[in-house]
Amino acid sequence: MAVSQREQALSLLAAANNHGDLAVKLSSLKQAKDIFLSADLALLAAELFPYLVELQSSHEALVRKTLVEAIEEISLKTMEYSPVLMQVLLTLLSDDDSVVARQSIVAGTHIFCKVLEELALQFHRHGLVERWLEDIWSWMIKLKDTVFQIALEARSVGPRLLAIKFLETCVLLFMPDNDSRGHNTEATRSAQVFNVSWLAGGHPVLDSVALQSEANRSFLILLDLLRSASVLPGSITISVVSSMVGSIVQG
């Protein structure tokens, strides 16, 4: 079965990379993703993920957007095999196409929240954090810093709006005495369950004090953006105000 899935995935990824018809590229990529989601990635990931990664250089924005969607689904379902995909996601955060950049921020937000949850739960259940999860968290830190920069500097409004929502998410996740489980935003489809109070007994990777400092930093960035409202597009100002109010009300 694994051999058959390997051959199918190789054929589909070759079509996604090389076929001249966009519809065929997109269909092939989606079928390859479905194979990854159903296959034993312990047998396939190391060999096949490099072909998936190549798609980040596709000239078609829809292919890059679909690649981001595939990375999100694969990472959320089989996180232990996804560190190699995080560099792609980080690169596409700054894609020249606004649609691709927006999708990357959305996907990055979902993965960021899931990694936080898994870090806390893995240590709680097993008393340790596996190396692959530490590796993914290091990518999440880079992702967070990149999204912060997008919130401050991006010229395109769409990605910037989602980056501002990411700032709000960080405040809600990292502030003490905050129940984020009921919080849901455009950038976070499913309710978050991570709560910084879970780290009260200590954690080998997550520092609750450092995370609370990140919450403060996120809120201060929102405040600085609000102070610059006179030179910002109206939609950005509205988003900043909404995020600040959401942070205060939910916090």
Tens of pLDDT, residue by residue over 5-49, are 889 999 999 999 999 999 999 999 999 999 999 988 888 888 999
Asked whether residue 87 falls in the same domain as residue 28, the answer is yes
Among the candidates 43, 59, 92, a domain finishes at 92
> What is the mean predicted confidence (pLDDT) over 60-74?
97
Asked whether residue 15 falls in the same domain as residue 124, the answer is no
Asked whether residue 171 falls in the same domain as residue 113, the answer is yes
| Domain around 17 | 1-92
pLDDT at position 213 over 50: yes
pLDDT at position 189 over 50: no
In single-letter form, the type of residue at position 218 comes to S
Asked whether residue 144 falls in the same domain as residue 61, the answer is no
> What is the mean predicted confidence (pLDDT) over 115-144?
94
Q: How many domains does the chain have?
A: 2
Question: Are 150 and 98 contacting, i.e. CB atoms less than 8 angstroms apart?
Answer: no
> What is the mean predicted confidence (pLDDT) over 115-128?
92
User: Where do we find the tokens 């798609």?
Assistant: 55
Asked whether residue 106 falls in the same domain as residue 155, the answer is yes
Which pLDDT belongs to residue 161?
Answer: 96
Q: Where is pLDDT greater, at 3 or 103?
A: 103
Which pLDDT belongs to residue 59?
Answer: 95
pTM of the model: 0.90
CA distances 21 to 15, 24, 34, 46, 142, Å, are 9, 5, 20, 28, 35
Asked whether residue 163 falls in the same domain as residue 145, the answer is yes
Asked whether residue 228 falls in the same domain as residue 109, the answer is yes
> What is the mean predicted confidence (pLDDT) over 146-170?
93
Asked whether residue 60 falls in the same domain as residue 179, the answer is no
Q: How many Cβ atoms sit within 10 Å of the Cβ of residue 61?
A: 16
196: domain CATH number? 1.25.10.10
Asked whether residue 119 falls in the same domain as residue 195, the answer is yes
DSSP state of 176: T
